[in-house]
Amino acid sequence: LFGFEVVFRWLCPIEKQSVTNAVSANSLRFTQIYFFAMCLFYKYSLFNFFPKYILRLLKLYTK
């Protein structure tokens, strides 16, 4: 819950102050969301799928 609050505060404080800052704020928000999504993806895919895949390959090749 604490991590979610930190992420929520990190993603949401960007406010559009003017027309010139709106584009940079949108691009920064997109970059933050994309980076956070990639971190989640790599965390869950590499630590859950990748070791199982390597163990499966090792079992196949060691028989």
**Which has more pLDDT, 2 or 36?**
36
How many domains does one find in the chain? 1
Which helix (H) or strand (E) covers residue 33, if one does?
helix 19-62
For residue 39, what are its two tokens?
Answer: 């971190």
Range with lowest mean pLDDT among 23-27, 40-44, 47-51, 58-62: 47-51
* pTM for the structure as a whole: 0.38
Q: Residue 33 — pLDDT band, cuts 50, 70, 90?
A: confident
Q: Are 12 and 33 in contact (CB under 8 A)?
A: no
**CA distance linking residue 45 with residue 60, whole number of Å:** 22
Domain coverage including residue 21: 2-62
Spatial distance between the Cα atoms of 22 and 40, rounded to a whole number of angstroms: 27
